[in-house]
Structure 1
Amino acid sequence: MRETPEEIAELQRLLDASLSGATAHLRSIVAERTITAERLAGVLTGMCVLSLATVTAKGEPRISAVDGHFLHGCWVFGTARTAAKARHLAARPAASVSHLRGEDLGVFVHGTAEAIDLTVETGLLDYFKGFYGDDAFDWVNEVVYFRLRPHFVTVYAPDVTELQ
């Protein structure tokens, strides 16, 4: 877990606000089957496969998978600079991601993706080099990383004791 107490508090506020503003249907599913921000940050460690939803210029939805890393209360993910999803996010930064672990955990986030300059955010660059290897990519020219700034987060976790 890399989150500060302030980031955990903000994530908890967002979880609470998202649930209270959700539809009655979603609340009926999630309200008694969710977890705290602190527990969520403790569960979302390392690389988590995300389903990433973007939108084309014609307004058509597209979904793909990315390596997601939950860092400081936000999902961070990368892709090739030439990937369609990179173009979609650059032009239309609204995005959604989900992370599912069978029926044990579902994390659903809507937000705004912002490109990350790894030459400025050297702590993130060090993290990714440590995770993938120093020379896994041309970190400046080959890949682009995004941070999804969430405005809605909900979690489905029917049995907290099953989460690892």
Structure 2
Amino acid sequence: MHETEEDLERLQTLMEKSIEQAGTFVRESLQMPEHSLSARQLVHLWQEPQTVAFATVTKKGEPRVSPIGALLIHGYFYIPTLESATRTRHVVNRPGVSFTLYQGNELAVIAHGNATIIWPDQATFAEVESCMRECSGQGVSDWGEGVFLRMDPAILYTYARELEAYPEE
């Protein structure tokens, strides 16, 4: 786990604010807050990269979704990708992104926010690259022109049918 107590508090505050601001339909559909994960449960779940359906938007406003691994580090989501990838070009011009992680009807994590590119010369890159290597045995720098997209969620919903199946530690 790479999250500090401050990271966990920030993430928990975001999750609670998201529930408060959700419409009635979303709250009822996801049975919030009764079936919402805590920040600690989410971080524990995300100890290794999770495959999400990651969405960006074209210049025509058309959504593009693709499955891709996502890391959670210090309460932010990082998407490993290439500088030349279409999703990277989308983020440069239109930073609004979303993703969904789901496991049947048992679990869902839905995030909406903005993404920024983390380039190899940025300090954060080395830490995220190290975490990725630790989890998967490779890093984006192995791909040549690898970068990370850091998603700063503005909305973060979670759902777990059985909360006790997702421990906090």
Q: What TM-score, normalized by structure 2, do the two folds share?
A: 0.88
Cα pair distance change 1:13/1:99, threshold 3 Å = same
How many angstroms apart in 2 are the aligned matches of 1:140 and 1:93?
23
Number of aligned residue pairs: 163
CA contact (8 A) 1:104 1:163 kept: no
**2:152 paired residue number:** 149
Secondary structure, in 3 states, of the residue corresponding to 2:91?
helix
How many angstroms apart in 1 are the aligned matches of 2:134 and 2:163?
30
How many angstroms apart in 1 are the aligned matches of 2:152 and 2:60?
24
The reply on whether 1:22 has 2:22 as its aligned counterpart is: yes
- Counterpart residue identity of residue 113, structure 1: A
CA shift, 1:74, in A, is 1.3
CA shift, 1:90, in A, is 1.2
How many angstroms apart in 2 are the aligned matches of 1:42 and 1:138?
26
CA shift, 1:139, in A, is 4.9
CA contact (8 A) 1:81 1:141 kept: no
Q: Could you list the runs of 4 or more consecutive aligned residues of structure 1 that deviate by over 4 angstroms after TM superposition? A: none
How many angstroms apart in 2 are the aligned matches of 1:48 and 1:76?
11
Alignment partner of 1:108 out of 107, 110, 122: 110
**1:68 paired residue number:** 70
**2:52 paired residue number:** 50
Alignment partner of 1:41 out of 33, 38, 43: 43
CA contact (8 A) 1:53 1:95 kept: yes
**1:163 paired residue number:** 166
Instruction: Calculate percent identity across the aligned residue pairs.
Output: 28
Q: CA RMSD in A?
A: 1.8
Q: What TM-score, normalized by structure 1, do the two folds share?
A: 0.90
How many angstroms apart in 2 are the aligned matches of 1:68 and 1:113?
13
**1:99 paired residue number:** 101
Secondary structure, in 3 states, of the residue corresponding to 1:109?
strand
Secondary structure, in 3 states, of the residue corresponding to 2:16?
helix
CA contact (8 A) 1:104 1:162 kept: no
Secondary structure, in 3 states, of the residue corresponding to 1:45?
coil
Q: C-alpha deviations, 1:68-125, integer Å up to 9, x for none?
A: 0111111111112222111111111110011112222100000110111233222222
Q: Structure 2, unaligned stretches of length 5 or more?
A: none
CA contact (8 A) 2:12 2:38 kept: yes
What is the correspondence of 1:111-122 to structure 2 with a 5 Å cutoff? 111-119=113-121, 120-121=123-124, 122=126
- Counterpart residue identity of residue 106, structure 2: D
